[in-house]
Amino acid sequence: MDKVNESIISAGFGGQGVMVLGKFFAIAGMLHEFKVTWLPSYGAEVRGGTAHSYVRISSNTIANPAVFNPDTAIVMNAPSLDKFEKRVKSGGLLILNSSMAVGKPKRNDIKIIEAPLTDEAIKIGNVKIANIITAGIYASRKRIFEKDILKNVIKTMLRTREELVSVNLRALELGMEIGKE
């Protein structure tokens, strides 16, 4: 495989699963034998506050786990759109949950994929899985992950909550559908 050097910021309200989403990417990267780091960032208060996680996935040793200008920003709410749209690298990717992030992105030098992800998540049966839909979108755009391994990550992460596996697998599939060019 080509050299990989990816940085991702996942941002939203506490409870939208942006920390778990970052872990999903990090575990997936690790299982693909890349170097990975994950770093959380949140205020002293969590639930309802804004939070984000930084992930790096690289063929090389990773220096700084914090990310200022990401290759990809996954934005789940409006405050995070204000904060992170401007920080995406030129030519980068912005995945936007338009159910929650009301307001229009302004950049025209980055790729923007916008979808009502919270509504989509409710439609397939669980409001909490909008994060995994974004993982599917990311996977279909970046092509650094094998689908079977991503499915295994879901099963591994939910090994004590098996009843949630199938809905998460559906979310991943849906995301990959939405992300198709």
Partner 1 sequence: MRRSKIKYLSTGNEACGEGALRAGCRFYAGYPITPQNELTAYMSRRMEEENGTFIQAESELAAINMVFGASVAGARAMTSSSSPGISLKQEGISYIAGAELPAVIVNIMRGGPGLGNIAASQSDYFQATKGGGHGDYRSIVLAPATVQEMFDFTYDAFSLADKYRNPVMILADGMLGQMMEPLAFDDNIKPSGIIPKPWALTGAEGRKPLSAKSLRLGSGKNSLERHNERLQEKYKNIERSEIKTELYKTDDAAKIIVAYGSPGRIGRSCVDTMRDDGDAIGLVRLKTLWPFPYAEIRKLAERGCEFLVVEMSAGQMVEDVRLAVQDDNKVSFYGRMGGGIPEEEVIIKKLKNRG
Question: For partner 1, which stretch binds (CB under 8 A), given 38-46, 103-111, 121-129, 135-143?
Answer: 38-46
Shortest distance, position 44 Cβ to partner 1, whole Å: 6
**Is 167 among the residues that bind partner 1 (CB under 8 A)?**
no
Reported in sequence order, the residue ranges of 106-181 that DSSP labels E, i.e. its strands, are 111-115
**Is 36 among the residues that bind partner 1 (CB under 8 A)?**
yes
**Is 61 among the residues that bind partner 1 (CB under 8 A)?**
yes
**Is 160 among the residues that bind partner 1 (CB under 8 A)?**
no
Task: Give the pair of three-digit tokens for residue 151.
Answer: 């499915």
**Is 26 among the residues that bind partner 1 (CB under 8 A)?**
yes
Bridging pattern class, strands 72-75 and 50-58: unpaired
Cβ proximity to partner 1, 1 vs 44, nearer residue: 44
Single out the residue of 12, 18, 34 nearest to residue 142, CA to CA: 34
**Is 158 among the residues that bind partner 1 (CB under 8 A)?**
no
**Is 103 among the residues that bind partner 1 (CB under 8 A)?**
no
**Residue bearing tokens 């295994």:** 152
Handedness of CA 65, 67, 71, 72 (dihedral sign): positive
Question: For partner 1, which stretch binds (CB under 8 A), given 62-70, 81-89, 105-113, 164-172?
Answer: 62-70
Single out the residue of 93, 180, 163, 84 nearest to residue 129, CA to CA: 163
Q: Contacts with partner 1 in 66-95 (CB under 8 A)? A: 66
Q: Contacts with partner 1 in 112-151 (CB under 8 A)? A: none
Reported in sequence order, the residue ranges of 14-134 that DSSP labels E, i.e. its strands, are 35-42, 50-58, 72-75, 93-97, 111-115
Q: Which residues bind partner 1 (CB under 8 A)?
A: 23, 26-27, 30, 35-40, 44, 60-66
